[in-house]
Amino acid sequence: MKTNFIDYLEKKKAQQIIDRLALKPHDKKIIIFGAGLFAGDLFRHYDLSKLNIIGACDKSFQENPDGDYYGYKKFSPLDLLEADFDILLITEYDDSEIKKYLKKELFQGENIKFKIRTLVKLSLIEYIKDTINGDL
């Protein structure tokens, strides 16, 4: 059984998480990382307008850099070290693979000048449950 992201985001109180993040200094430029179904549900059903999002990044944008993603400029992961921003905000259901990719493949040995955060975190219990059920 696949996870219903809309129900999951509601249960996790995603709008409250977004609103709390928006209370932090407004001058922090954010690039979201992840453009899958989970991120799509976030953009379609939640108000992210208070966040200073300057773009969206996804591995798929390496092959398809044209256009935009929900009105935001597309960034390839390869462009991140040169981009001017403060927070890379992961918008994936399970951030573990993304974090491994970022640390071991993309930024290995690099001195990064931005913070990496996950918007909605999957708890250990949720991760174990999804692993057992075959959702991950």
Q: What are the structural domain ranges in the chain?
A: 5-133
pLDDT band for 92, please (50, 70, 90 cuts): very high
pLDDT band for 135, please (50, 70, 90 cuts): low
What is the arithmetic mean of pLDDT over 67-84? 94
Tell me if residue 15 falls in helix, strand or coil.
Answer: helix
pLDDT band for 126, please (50, 70, 90 cuts): low
Count of CB atoms situated within 10 Å of the CB of 20: 10
Q: Which CATH architecture has domain 5-133?
A: 3-Layer(aba) Sandwich (3.40)
Under 8 Å CB-to-CB from 88, ≥6 apart: which residues?
Answer: 30, 31, 33, 57, 80, 102, 114, 115, 116, 117
- Give percent above pLDDT 90 in the chain: 62
Q: What is the pLDDT of residue 131?
A: 53
Tell me if residue 74 falls in helix, strand or coil.
Answer: strand
Q: What is the pLDDT of residue 20?
A: 92
**What global pTM score does this model have?**
0.85
Residues 7-56 have pLDDT tens digits of 989 999 999 999 999 988 778 999 999 999 999 999 999 999 999 999 99
Residue 124 has pLDDT above 80, yes or no: no
> What average pLDDT does the chain have?
87
